[in-house]
Structure 1
Amino acid sequence: MRLKHWVFMLGLGFSLPAMAECSFRLADGKLLRCGMAGIEVLDRLGQPLLKEQLTLGVSTNSVERGQSVEVWSYKTKADMGGDFLLSIEFTDGKVSNISRKQQDRL
């Protein structure tokens, strides 16, 4: 029984940093996270400042196609204060990555 508990805690320890890396808490307390649909992001942040369509891994073979990723860019405030630039990546219509950069940080 102790071994199962230890394995569970070890797995949880490895998964928590990964979950925290793909989330962002807004100034109003709402959370952006991986797996959200685009409509949920629009509901929380509105229209992005910029939308980009990227194709990764393009192949010359007509059967294979590159993976398409859409990136939405925002300037917003976080719950911890300060302005942030957010880049939210969507794969297959769901948030797959959230990159952030704090503005005017001393």
Structure 2
Amino acid sequence: MWLKYVIFIAGLSVSLPVMAQCSFRLADGKLLRCGMASIEVIERVGQPLLREQRTLGVSTNAIERGQTVEVWSYKVKADVGGEFLLSIELTDGKVTTLDRKQQGRL
């Protein structure tokens, strides 16, 4: 029984930092997170300031194609810490990565 608790706590300690890296709370309390559909992002944050498409792993085989990733950039206010530059990567219409950089900090 004790071993189950140790395994649970170890798994939780590994998964929580990963989950925290893939979420962002806006000033109005709404949450952006990995797995969200692109339409949900637009509903919560609006249209991005910049949209960029990247193709990863381009193949020379006509059957296999590279994976296309869309990157949306925003300037948003967070619930804590002021303004952030937020970069959201979407694959197949779902959020896969959230990168943030706080403005005014080095």
State the TM bucket, normalised to the shorter chain: over 0.9
Please tell me the residue identity of whatever aligns with 2:13.
Answer: G
Report how far residue 15 of structure 1 moved: 0.4
Task: Name the Cα RMSD after superposition.
Answer: 1.0
What are the within-5 Å matches in structure 2 for residues 1-106 of structure 1?
1-105=1-105
Report how far residue 103 of structure 1 moved: 1.1
Report how far residue 89 of structure 1 moved: 0.4
Task: Give the distance between the partners of 1:30 and 1:93, measured in 2 at CA.
Answer: 20
Please tell me the residue identity of whatever aligns with 2:61.
Answer: N
Gaps of 5+ in 2: none
Runs (4+) of structure 1 moved beyond 6 Å? none
Percentage identity across paired residues of the two chains = 74
1:79-99 per-position Cα deviation (integer Å, ceiling 9, x unaligned): 113111111000111100001
Gaps of 5+ in 1: none
Please tell me the residue identity of whatever aligns with 1:104.
Answer: G
Report how far residue 105 of structure 1 moved: 2.0
TM-score normalised to structure 1 length: 0.95
Contact 1:27-1:81 within 8 A present in 2 as well: no
Report how far residue 58 of structure 1 moved: 0.4
